[in-house]
Each structure stands twice: as C-alpha cells, then as structure tokens.
Amino acid sequence: MIEARGLRKRFGAGEVLRGVDLSIARGRVTAIVGPNGAGKTTFIKSVLGLARPDSGTLTFDGAKIGDDHAYRARIGYMPQLARFPEHMTGAELIHLLRNLRGGASVNEELVAEFGIEGELRKQLRVLSGGTRQKVNAIAAFLFSPELYVLDEPTAGLDPVSSGILKARIRRERANGRTVLLTSHIMSEVEELTDDVIYLTDGVVRYSGALDHLKTAMGETNLERAIARLMLREAAA
C-alpha cells in the first residue's frame, strides 16, 4: 500500500531520514519503532503529506504522494497530541467532520464503546486528557478509511479504554484495513502488529514480520529482540 524508496529529509543541518526504503502491506498492522529522534514522526508526516521529502519516492497505492492530496480522504489519522478547536464540544467537532466529508459513511461505534456520550456535550477545553484522547480516536475511526495512521494511540488511556481501542484495531485489520502505528510500549506492539519497522538515526535497521525478527534475534519477545538488534548495530 505504501512504498518508500531512498527517502531523504533534512531539517537545517540535521538529516532526519537517510535513504529510507520500506514497504507497508495492505491489510496488515505495521508498527514503526525506534528511539526518540529516529525519524518516525517525519516519516508519518511524509505519508500524510505534511512534510515533503528532499529526495526519493513515496507512493500510496502506486501514486506518488505530493502530486494529489485527494488520497488523504482514505486515511484516518490519530496524532499523539490532537489540537482541537477548544471552544467546540466533542459533538460539534464530530458534526463538523461529517460536514467536511460530505456524504461519506460514518461509524460512531467508539462513542458508545467508550461510553462518553455525555462528555461529548462539553467543550473540548474542559475535558480530561484521557477523554480528549478518546475523542481523538473517535475522529480517526469515524469514516472507516482504508489506512489508519495511529501515533501512540493508547497514550493517556485507562486500561479499559486502551483495551477497547486495541480491539477496534484488530477488527479493522480483520476487515482488510491497513494500520500504521507507532508506540514505545513494546508489549503493545507485540500484541497488535504483524510487521515491524525498526528505525534509528533515519535509517531502517529492520523491516519485516514481527515473528521473523524474534526468531532472527533468538528471543521470545519483541522487547528483547529489539534490544539485541540495538546491541548488534552498536557493535557493528
């Protein structure tokens, strides 16, 4: 679904992406992991058309990203820290999004699953961080897009709400949707994902099936496999 070849991006004197090559397969959950400053956010912003690579190619279903922004309607984006119009209520935000998308089919299942119908009648500025994150998730999943881009999706959620969101991610994968996510919680990545991309210093160090990475590193869980990979790279 997404292909990156030789992707490079520089901000000032620092090169954030240094020849990134990777593929994100349709109908699977792929996690991008790596330390802070690895280039994860820059890559996601490039997929969303919010950052333009300096060189290389990035395609969505074979069409080069940047030539036409219409593909964005096929993406549901959940940023780590959503910035909402503070004076609006959650219900008004959902209504606004529905109007912006015209006749697009709407799925508000998460509203009932999170049990926040009453909270949606309040202005967004007075909501707790966890409730704002639930609104963030509702907005991302509202139109049942082909691709979900989820940046630290469970950050700030209580265990019950986190479980609800992870169950929704699994259902979307079962329905043939594609999910690209980032998370610093390796147990969460292992629980949800099919494929892992390990990115550090703007370079892809591993891209492939999660189970294959664990086998290759001789480990039984992802956290230890990533740690062993990091040690191997440091020693190289």
Mean pLDDT of 148-152: 95
DSSP string, 173-235: HHTT-EEEEE-S-HHHHHHH-SEEEEEETTEEEEEEEHHHHHHHHT-SSHHHHHHHHHHHHHH
Predicted confidence at residue 83, as pLDDT, reads 86
Note the helical H segments in the chain: 40-47, 90-100, 109-114, 129-141, 159-174, 186-192, 210-217, 222-235
pTM, two decimals, is: 0.92
Are the C-beta atoms of 168 and 144 separated by less than 8 Å? no
Mean pLDDT of 149-154: 94
CA angle at residue 182 from 203 to 165, to 5 degrees?
165
- The pLDDT-based confidence of 103 (bands split at 50, 70, 90) is low
Give, rounded to a whole angstrom, the gap between the first and last alpha carbons of the chain: 32
73, 53, 2: which is closest to 32 by C-alpha? 2
211-236 per-position pLDDT tens digit: 999 999 999 999 999 989 888 877 76
**Higher pLDDT pick, 2 / 98:** 2
- Residue 16 CA to residue 157 CA, distance in Å, equals 30
Amino acid at position 161, single letter: S
Are the C-beta atoms of 72 and 35 separated by less than 8 Å? no
Q: Which of 5-9, 83-87, 112-116, 160-164 has the lowest mean pLDDT?
A: 83-87
Chain mean position to CA 18:
21
- Residue 166 CA to residue 191 CA, distance in Å, equals 9
Q: Maximum distance among all alpha carbons in the chain? A: 56
- Residue 136 CA to residue 134 CA, distance in Å, equals 5
Mean pLDDT of 193-206: 94
> Which residue carries 């790279």 as its tokens?
233
Mean pLDDT of 104-114: 86
Predicted confidence at residue 233, as pLDDT, reads 75
Mean pLDDT of 27-56: 92
166-179 per-position pLDDT tens digit: 999 999 999 999 99
Mean pLDDT of 134-162: 93
Q: Which residues pair with 17 in a beta bridge?
A: 9
CATH architecture entry for 2-235: 3-Layer(aba) Sandwich (3.40)
